[in-house]
Amino acid sequence: MAGPPRAARRWRQAMKALLNLFKLRIGVAIALTAVAGLMVSPGAAIETWQAVVLTLAVLLSSSAAGAFNQFYEVDLDARMPRTRRRPFVSGRMRHHGGWLALIVALTGIAVAAAWLATNASAALYTFLGAFFYAIVYTVWLKRRTAWNIVIGGLAGSFAVLAGAAAVSPHLSAEALVLALVLFLWTPPHFWSLSIVFRDEYAEAGVPMLPVVKGDRYAAWAILGHAVVMVGLSLALALLGPGWLYFVCAASGGALLIRRALTLARAPNRANALASFHASLIQLSLLLLGTIADGWMRASLGG
């Protein structure tokens, strides 16, 4: 009688490990930014099935890049208490070349699906998003420079551009501004987390900004990025998105700036964690506002 429960438990543990490995929650967030890119772009709407395939393609490519990040950084993950329970480090999954082959295959499938369902431009941006996170950020920059996440932030921007390019390869001003907003969102988000876990990054030898420049410098960099990013997100309402978008962007932006200002005044772990959570809320409201506003305008015929 004990066999089936044990089998079910092992299955649940295996699924949990896979979700952890492929960073599904991050993948969903990236996929939603692609949907936001679709919704913010003026022009004839694409078919529902095309939007679904593109969204899944971005999710798949992002998840593959997340898995590569864990595959490549197994040595770093082993040095940091926060990441020691990841599948490769904990031994729940064996670290071997087969995973690399699977990651490459999944990325190829994602790019091909985006191309077949929409167009070559959307497929290119889908690929570039995964490439920038997996190769540019993880392999080239993370261990070398304190500004690693600034350039690595392009990964989220490319998801916006993938969605926008599916509507039209000629990117609109709305799509470009939203992509820039996502680019500016990434550093404050990760720098806040880096302040919380600064000692772990330092011991692992990862030159995150708080490690190299100190918490106070990083806190003011967070505030500066947040102010510019929120300002651009509000300016986006002048180009197309309406009142619903503006309310969501303003609400989330006000919260983020408030938390970032508190962090700049008192750069400590508690305030950094509050800033980190505020960035998640701000992004959620921004994407919700973009998607809901675009859907409402489409339903009303523009």
Can you tell me the distance from the alpha carbon of 81 to that of 64, in angstroms, rounded to the nearest whole number? 24
- Token readout for 209 is 């900004």
Q: What is the DSSP letter of 43?
A: S
> Band of the pLDDT at 1, cuts 50, 70, 90?
very low
Q: What is the pLDDT of residues 154-167, one digit of tens each?
A: 888 999 999 999 99
Q: What is the DSSP letter of 13?
A: H
Rounded mean pLDDT of the chain?
Answer: 93
Predicted pLDDT at 302? 52
Can you tell me the distance from the alpha carbon of 18 to that of 86, in angstroms, rounded to the nearest whole number? 10
Non-local CB neighbours of 186 within 8 Å, separated by 6+ positions = 149, 150, 152, 153, 155, 156
Q: Kindly list the distances between the CA atom of residue 202 and the CA atoms of 44, 73, 199, in Å, as whole numbers in the listed order.
A: 50, 15, 5
- Token readout for 281 is 């809320």
Overall number of domains in the chain: 1
Non-local CB neighbours of 143 within 8 Å, separated by 6+ positions = 76, 205, 206, 207
6 within a domain of the structure (yes/no): no
- Which residue blocks in the chain are alpha helix, DSSP H? 3-21, 24-40, 48-72, 74-79, 87-90, 97-117, 120-131, 148-152, 154-167, 173-196, 198-204, 209-213, 215-235, 243-265, 269-299
- Token readout for 240 is 């197309």
5 within a domain of the structure (yes/no): no
> pTM of the entire structure?
0.92
Predicted pLDDT at 146? 93
Closest C-alpha among 16, 39, 42 to residue 244? 39
Q: What is the pLDDT of residues 293-302, one digit of tens each?
A: 988 887 776 5
Residues 113-137, mean pLDDT to the nearest whole number: 97
Is residue 241 helix, strand or coil? Answer: coil
Name the amino acid, one letter, at 54: L
Is residue 41 helix, strand or coil? Answer: coil
CA dihedral for 270, 276, 277, 281, sign (positive or negative)? positive
Residues 164-182, mean pLDDT to the nearest whole number: 95
Range of the domain at 156: 12-299
Q: What is the pLDDT of residues 62-114, one digit of tens each?
A: 999 999 999 999 999 999 999 989 999 988 889 999 999 999 999 999 999 99
Distance of CA 14 to the CA centre of its chain: 24
Closest C-alpha among 130, 116, 107 to residue 166? 116
251 within a domain of the structure (yes/no): yes
Q: Kindly list the distances between the CA atom of residue 30 and the CA atoms of 41, 162, 207, in Å, as whole numbers in the listed order.
A: 17, 11, 25
7 within a domain of the structure (yes/no): no
2 within a domain of the structure (yes/no): no
- Token readout for 177 is 């501004």
Neighbours of 243 (CB within 10 A): 11
Q: What is the pLDDT of residues 4-54, one digit of tens each?
A: 677 777 788 778 888 888 888 999 999 999 999 999 998 777 899 999 999
Predicted pLDDT at 3? 56
Residues 189-205, mean pLDDT to the nearest whole number: 96
273 pLDDT above the threshold of 50: yes
